[in-house]
Amino acid sequence: MMSILLTIAILLSTVSGDSRIRSEYSWPSPAGVLDKTWQSNALAYYQRLRLTHDRWHAVLLTEKDIGEEWGDLLTGGVSYTNSDKFSLAAGGLRLQFAHGLVLSHPGPWSGTDPLALSKSPKWRMRSEVSESPSANDANPFNGLSSVYNSGHYSLSAALGWSLIDSGSSGLHQTETDINNQDSITDKLAAIRIGYKSFGISYAYSEQEEDGTIQSFPRAGFDFNIETDESILTGELALGSDSSANFIVAAGRGLPQFRHTLTLSRHTTDLPRSSEIFGADHNLGAGYGIRWRPLNNFTIDAGALFFDREGEDLFKAALQFSERLPNRFILTERVKISTSSSETTTQAQIAAVWSPFPDLTLSLKFPFAFYRSNEAADQNGGGVEIRLKHSPSQKIDLVVSMAAASTDGWNSRVYAYSLSFPGEFGSRPLYNSSRLLQSSVSLHLSEETILRIKASWFSMPGQDYLGSGDNETEGSSKTAAGIQLDWKF
């Protein structure tokens, strides 16, 4: 017994890792809580534990969204890596072959910002334990994956068996959500063989729901050819119904100028694969540039066109950024999205000033203009002020104030959302609305950081905010959260 305890103690002494615990609460409580149509209260909770020992890495995640029961999500996994030659992962995973058209979980594509088109789409081989609840909630991939590299050759494989939800909310709040939970059995097997800059892949996925089985086989070819200044990358995925999705990008990057041309097609949605640019289209064409004519002045521009069934779509954007004396940055931006039925134009002027290393002031003026053949025109504007200050090496403070006045939702503007590390997002403001936010980070030690945040949102004159189960009484809503990060 003593030898066993001694062995465990020695192993634990060689383990490193970190823990993250986060909890958030908002009030007044939404209708789903008050009417008891949700399973639980308005408290959200998240915990992540990561452990590393030599070449082994383990992750444990638990999460409860607002209105869900405690322990709604419990997942994790373990991985082994032998330098760049071999890796093996098991549990809840994140996966990607090339650009993700044959295999990707979760899909990396989203509605693309034209200002990001100067960069070529990311080619990557991913086989790792998921460290985010978003990859495991409602639509997880549970299984095994492995990557083996030998010289110019590589072999990647994945095998999965998962229970996923019907529907797409990702939440388990109502009785309907509970009935839809784990209602689909998802099976997948995938393989990719690579040689130098090229690869061929095949994936077969099968989903069973209420005794009905659907299969989704597909094969692909990908390439990624890079030099010091240029890149040519792409992927083609062929389905069993003769459908074809593809992405091809050619770009060149110089110190003062970078540009990329991208062509794409996405007509078939496949489980465990990426939806290119987050939208179906017969043909898509995008071009973006980043030009630095002066050392302190940068121009970003991009345009994206989709040929789609029923209604084409065009997006474009232009941004000027200038670094002025006294640590001052000025940015002007305009974006437009137009189809045959509506056009939305967004503009923004922003300034950032750092008079001292520990003090930063930000000022932003967003505007939105909506035009439609079927609805009334709308206009909107807002203002946002943010202050960051570190009075000492152990304290970081942030205060943010934003307000907007718009004609409705279609002319909404967006404010920066104060978030914890690991969170991302912005807050839409519409009608007459106000948003106050603050956060404080306390560096308790080199290994421990405690973060606290609070926000207050108001729409004067409103009797209720939100709708359905998310409706809250009154014209304002308050939220608070706390996060503890600890390394060991």
Q: In this predicted structure, which of 134-143, 214-223, 440-449 has the lowest mean pLDDT?
A: 134-143
Contact 235, 222 (CB under 8 A): yes
- Enter the pTM of the model: 0.89
pLDDT tens profile 148-183: 999 999 999 999 999 999 876 778 999 998 989 899
Look up residue 142 and give its amino acid.
Answer: N
Residue 24 — very low, low, confident or very high, per pLDDT cuts 50/70/90? very high
CA distance 413 to 129: 36
Q: Count how many residues are written for the chain.
A: 488
Q: What is the mean pLDDT of the segment spanning 280-292? A: 95
| Biggest CA pair distance of the chain | 79
Contact 39, 178 (CB under 8 A): yes
pLDDT, residue 5, reads 47
pLDDT, residue 110, reads 59
pLDDT higher than 60, residue 147? yes
pLDDT tens profile 423-481: 777 899 999 999 999 999 999 999 999 999 999 999 999 999 999 999 999 999 999 99
Nearest-CA neighbor of 145 among 127, 172, 129? 127
pLDDT, residue 13, reads 67
Q: What is the mean pLDDT of the segment spanning 347-358? A: 96
pLDDT tens profile 292-305: 999 999 999 999 99
Contact 351, 363 (CB under 8 A): yes
pLDDT, residue 6, reads 52
Q: What is the mean pLDDT of the segment spanning 132-159? A: 92
pLDDT, residue 270, reads 87
For Cα atoms 306, 309, 311, give the angle at the middle one, nearest 5 degrees.
65
